[in-house]
Amino acid sequence: MNEIDEETAAGLRSIAREAAESGAEIACTDFREGIGNDFKRDQMDPVSRADREAQDRIVEILAERDPAAAIVGEENDAEKTVPDSGPAWIIDPIDGTNNFVRGNRLWGVSLARTVDGEPVAAATVLPAIGDTYTAGPGVVERNGVECSVSERTVPSSLIVAPIFGLKQRDRDDYNVVTSYIHEELGDLRRLGSGQTSMAMVACGEIDAAISTVHMTAWDTVAGAHMVRAGGGRVTDLAGDRWRHDSDSLVATNGEIHEDVLSALRDRLDWD
């Protein structure tokens, strides 16, 4: 973890929350208004005016409050790569756009602040549900109340979210992961928002989130930081510490981590 002093960390966390809330306010004006949307890669990859305008507003705020930091963002022409040196913000103006454009409340505005590629603060705001998750080094809060990962270890009690699998090419892996969950664990949650899924792991609402493939920084960095801040563990399938450029992501409450990794590796014939 990067060494930054407590006051700086608290300031960055508060900027993250304020900027995410401002983005959320913009997005909410279009929610359930039947405004329509375009598509990027395919029909399961929508983008709306709300995504673009929320990101623009967030960028404005960050440029004013933290001008030295680079900005990485999902939409518009923002930089797409997290810099390995110096400060940066990573923005997903709407994580869960498929839910958003259908009028489903499960979408969030998510921000992470990194130093040298490692997160130091994060916020994920779910305005339509009313939950706000924030994290600094070693602490995660939901609506201002400190939280932690679950303590569940019994396989049949675990609820796990696959957070990948929209792309057809990932469906074989996705089927392996869902079979594992159905055959060995308690239940599956597929929320349509990776950031929300990881915030929920951080606060013990679910027990793990899994992707067997690389995911973009705006879908992952804030959530991975929250899981660690809540006492959980985030690695790749090999068990190495997860980074924004890792080729897979396994985020758990920590207790179950080795068992989940080993079950996944067995089922994926992974070496």
Ligand X SMILES: O=P(O)(O)OC[C@H]1O[C@](O)(COP(=O)(O)O)[C@@H](O)[C@@H]1O
Cα separation, 45 vs 39, whole angstroms = 6
Whether 95 has a binding-site annotation, put simply, is: yes
Q: Which does 164 bind (CB under 5 to 8 A by kind): Mg ion, ligand X, none?
A: ligand X
Minimum CB distance to Mg ion, residue 163 (Å)? 13
> Which residues between 55 and 114 bind Mg ion (CB under 5 A)?
74, 92, 94-95
Q: Which does 174 bind (CB under 5 to 8 A by kind): Mg ion, ligand X, none?
A: none
Q: Judged by CB under 6 A, which of 193, 235, 246, 252 binds ligand X?
A: 193
Count of beta carbons in the 10 Å neighbourhood of residue 64: 10
Residue 219 interacting with ligand X (CB under 6 A):
yes
The answer for residues whose C-beta is within 8 angstroms of residue 54's C-beta and 6 or more apart is 23, 24, 26, 27, 93, 94, 109
Q: Judged by CB under 6 A, which of 137, 165, 204, 254 binds ligand X?
A: 165
Minimum CB distance to ligand X, residue 266 (Å)? 23
Residue identified by tokens 């208004």 is: 33
Three state DSSP letters for 218-232: HHHHHHHHHHHHCCC
- Is the separation of the CB atoms in 93 and 27 below 8 Å? yes
Q: Judged by CB under 6 A, which of 70, 71, 166, 268 binds ligand X?
A: 166
Count of beta carbons in the 10 Å neighbourhood of residue 98: 18
Q: Which does 193 bind (CB under 5 to 8 A by kind): ligand X, Mg ion, none?
A: ligand X
Residue identified by tokens 């239940």 is: 187
Could you tell me which of 89, 84, 106, 101 has the C-alpha nearest to residue 35? 101
Minimum CB distance to ligand X, residue 197 (Å)? 7
Instruction: Give the nearer residue to ligand X in terms of CB position, either 94 or 221.
Output: 94
Q: Judged by CB under 6 A, which of 119, 136, 162, 192 binds ligand X?
A: 192
Minimum CB distance to Mg ion, residue 95 (Å)? 5
Cα separation, 95 vs 79, whole angstroms = 17
What b/e sequence results for 82-94 when a residue is b if at least 16 CB atoms lie within 10 Å of its CB, and e otherwise?
beeeebbbbbbbb
> Which residues between 196 and 225 bind Mg ion (CB under 5 A)?
none
> Which residues between 46 and 105 bind ligand X (CB under 6 A)?
74, 92, 94-97
Residue 53 interacting with Mg ion (CB under 5 A):
no
Whether 173 has a binding-site annotation, put simply, is: no
Binding interface with ligand X (CB under 6 A): 74, 92, 94-97, 163-167, 170, 192-194, 215, 219
